[in-house]
A and B are shown apart, each in its own frame.
Chain A
């Protein structure tokens, strides 16, 4: 099993340019998360999907960030335009569907992340 696959691994862009990150979750994991991790900090949730539905996007800066998960599998996260403060590692994670589970019995599987540097 390939695990959660993210691309690209690294991205350097100039401010005001657009950027997109891609994530392919583990097969069968209907729940997908995008997290942002600033240097020296823990990850913070940006958006959570159940299949193709964004069920929690309260932390997503909607003026410049957007995400989609067409067909409930792969997902892309976009920033347009990027700002210097967006430099961070963007992590994608997936897990089994929340609905129907009586307890959270498993951890989440994270991808290796995309390290974004905005100059």
Chain B
């Protein structure tokens, strides 16, 4: 069963704009991770945020985590056509290190 739920399911923006994707989950977590998947390819790890962290940055990526609302957001600033991909959030519960994925957000960045 899938723990996370991304919102929106699909997002289309122009190059240079910012893209925000949200993720909600159901149970308490150890950490939350964001992955990118280009069409027909495997998943690439983008960023991990622990349950005791509220915000993390990595280049053009900014992730926030609100454990009281059981939600996270991924912001991609100054988007590029190469950012076109599906983005998944995945949660890790307890100490078993199993990743549970949401259904993903399909981001299209138009040149």
Contact surface of A with B, Cβ cutoff 8 Å: 4, 6, 31, 33, 40-45, 48, 56, 91, 93, 95, 98, 103-113, 115
Contact = CB atoms under 8 A, between A and B. Distances in A.
B100 A45 contact: yes
Q: How large is the interface on B (under 10, 10 to 19, 20 to 34, 35 or more residues)?
A: 20 to 34
Interface string B2-42: 10100000000000000000000000001101010000111
B42 A104 contact: no
B92 A44 contact: no
A89 B21 CA distance: 24
B84 to A, nearest CB: 17
A42 B4 contact: yes
Contacts of A6: 42
B48 A41 contact: no
Contacts of A56: 96, 98
B43 A43 contact: yes
Nearest to B89: A42
B2 A41 contact: yes
B56 to A, nearest CB: 12
A40 B42 contact: no
A13 B2 CA distance: 28
Given A44-B2, A104-B92, A106-B48, A112 B101 contact: no
B50 interface: yes
Contacts of A93: 43, 99
A113 B44 CA distance: 12
A62 B31 CA distance: 30
